[in-house]
Amino acid sequence: MRLSRAFLKTYKEAPKEAQIVSHQLMLRSFMIKQLTRGVYTYLPFGYRVLKKIENITREEMDKAGAQELLMPVLQPASLWEESGRWFAYGPELMRLKDRNEREFSLGPTHEEVITDVVRDSISSYKELPFNVYQIQTKFRDEMRPRFGLMRGREFVMKDAYSFHLTQESLDEEYLNMKDTYSRILERMGLNYRAVEADTGSIGGDASHEFMVLAESGEDDILYNDSSDYAANVEKATSIIELKESNEEKLPKELVETPNAKTIEELANFLNIPKEKTVKAVMLKEVLEDVEKFVLALIRGDLDVNPIKLKNVIGASTELEMMSEEECEKFGLVAGYAGSYEKKEGLYVVIDETVKYVRNFALGANKADYHYINVNLEDLAYDLVADIRTARAGDISPDGKGVLKIARGIEVGHIFKLGEKYSKALNATVLDENGKQAVMKMGCYGMGMSRIISAAIEQNHDEYGIIWPKAIAPYHVDVIIANMKDETQVNIGEKLYNELNQNKIETVLDDRNERAGFKFKDADLIGFPLKIVVGKGAADGIVEVKDRKTGESTDVKVEEVLNFVK
Ligand code: ATP
Ligand code: MG
Ligand code: MG
Ligand code: MG
């Protein structure tokens, strides 16, 4: 690619609403352009990175024995009703109607669709196991789309689904996928950890998240350097299970902490009344899961006014459309979020947890709304934070060292789903004895577009992006320092052609710009190598500079190819 002909427009500064460095750098280097909240165009360089990520993933999935297919984005509500998720998925599901008023969703994930395909086509255990995957655009009406590609409403995911007769077979494939995910992230040059995770609303009995370590990450993980124990903070503290067991006992892992063995002790430890502790734990629980939230409302466990159930289910992100006055009217602690234009009068509650509760409460029916106990919500947050701090420094559950805490970005998530969807959708096969058996399923997701952001969070400096070679848009940027110097132009052209002919992905900066401007762009866009054809060209010498190490070497023109290879 000749930059003189490229669709490229770099910026010295990022708009204010870009809060984290990857978002800023992607906008400044013209990798993406926002269309509307959480929806982006992938510009040519950004799209090349996405394709590299997709291809590495594709190669490793194929190697692992999975087969690629492509499922529809548009999915009938009836299928989601069968699995129970038309209700349970809540407002994150993008919903629309066709001309006949039939309801549809835009797929946020594809368990339902694949299970439907499989139940209609597979009838014998002999046809199992198999694993199929797709790389496709997903839609989720995220409560707070932000940070560029990190949390989009439209984003690209690789999602895989495996089907089995036996648990052993599922276990085996789960391990195969766990290894495959590790290989994929290693090939991309990312520093990551596989952590034990809760299965959340998707269901199932085992799950791991793949976390790219970065300060800007939204997740806390507890890990141990002396062994491979690592878990996300929810799993590590398991506070969600507390209410489920309906006993006043803390889960095993928490019991192991010196700080709290019972609700009583936890309450003491947190210095809050026991009753409130239980509620705080419960609140944390229900926030994880829409279904549980609604149940809690019905049971009256939450300090919110009873809300018409039907309306709650259909609630959307209505709160985001509220004015300041409206927020006040409902007694809300509304905050102005940077990404919203104040003039449009859009307000959101800053605190995600608080917002979640209120979203539902308000979406239900504003007239019915009276109050939400804000203290309780704060409590829930404090509780989680306290438990987290309490856990760091503890002995690892495997007894092999001390727990440390880090922040991570969830780039992948694998689940043993078991029979959750196959049972609901009646996906069965005949087993060896001619008996109907419900198939067992695994599902394996990886955020293709989010990985771009995560990679930048982990690989940048004050000048711009430092792409790991495997996912760089191009490997080499040949810069002609002075376009008026014929020797420089000739050598630049020669190197550009030679490198590309040898399959080294190279751009030529032949723009009529100052050398300094070109260097800045090269560093911003983050090509792993920059070749400067400058004054030394007269003596047949160019400068090769490594973006990551900053190392600079003078190389003879005829030796460049070997040097770069
Ligand atoms: P999160 O906790 O960040 O909301 P999730 O747990 O809802 O993610 P999964 O359902 O596990 O996401 O989806 C699989 C993968 O898809 C995630 O690990 C993540 O990499 C990616 N992903 C999920 N939501 C988004 C999004 N809104 N934008 C970009 N990537 C996403
Ligand atoms: Mg999510
Ligand atoms: Mg998650
Ligand atoms: Mg997940």
Q: From first to last of its 565 residues, what are the pLDDT tens digits of the chain? A: 999 999 999 999 999 889 899 999 999 999 999 999 999 999 999 999 999 999 999 999 999 999 999 999 999 999 999 998 888 787 889 999 999 999 999 999 999 999 999 999 999 999 999 999 999 999 999 887 889 999 999 999 999 999 999 999 999 999 999 999 999 999 999 999 999 886 654 555 689 999 999 988 888 888 887 877 888 766 655 432 333 333 333 333 333 333 344 555 545 544 445 544 444 444 344 334 433 443 443 344 443 322 222 222 222 223 333 444 544 444 433 332 222 222 222 222 223 333 444 444 444 333 332 523 223 334 344 444 544 555 667 777 777 778 788 889 999 999 999 999 999 999 999 999 999 999 999 999 999 999 999 999 999 999 999 999 999 999 999 999 999 999 999 999 999 999 999 999 999 999 999 999 999 999 999 999 999 999 999 999 999 999 999 999 999 999 999 999 9
Q: How far apart, in whole angstroms, are the C-alpha atoms of residue 551 and residue 553?
A: 7
- Beta carbon of 192 within 6 Å of any ligand 1 atom: no
Q: Enumerate residues 6+ apart whose C-beta is below 8 A from 349.
A: 319, 327, 332, 333, 334, 335, 355, 358
Cα–ligand 2 centroid distance for 441 (angstroms): 21
Q: Is 201 exposed, middle or buried (0-12, 13-18, 19+ CB in 10 A)?
A: middle
Report the 10 Å Cβ neighbour count for 559.
13
Q: Enumerate residues 6+ apart whose C-beta is below 8 A from 340.
A: 320, 346, 347, 348
- Beta carbon of 141 within 6 Å of any ligand 1 atom: no
Report the 10 Å Cβ neighbour count for 442.
27
- Supply the pTM of this predicted model: 0.78
- Beta carbon of 217 within 6 Å of any ligand 1 atom: no
Cα–ligand 1 centroid distance for 276 (angstroms): 32
Closest approach atom of ligand 1 to CA 209: 18
Q: How far apart, in whole angstroms, are the C-alpha atoms of residue 177 and residue 171?
A: 10
- The residue whose CA has the least distance to atom 23 of ligand 1 is 447
Q: How far apart, in whole angstroms, are the C-alpha atoms of residue 230 and residue 182?
A: 14
Nearest 10 degrees: Cα torsion 193, 194, 198, 199: 140
DSSP state of 396: P
What stretches of 220-351 show up as alpha helix (H) in DSSP? 233-237, 239-245, 252-255, 263-270, 274-287, 290-299, 309-314, 324-329
Ligand closest in space to the Cα of 234: 3
Q: How far apart, in whole angstroms, are the C-alpha atoms of residue 201 and residue 198?
A: 9
Ligand closest in space to the Cα of 410: 1
Closest approach atom of ligand 1 to CA 447: 20
ipTM: 0.99
Cα–ligand 1 centroid distance for 431 (angstroms): 35
Closest by CA to 146, choosing from 377, 407, 350, is 350
Classify the C-alpha dihedral 142-46-187-216 as positive or negative.
negative
- Beta carbon of 147 within 6 Å of any ligand 1 atom: no
Ligand closest in space to the Cα of 446: 1
Angle at 400 between CA 394 and CA 405, to 5 degrees: 40
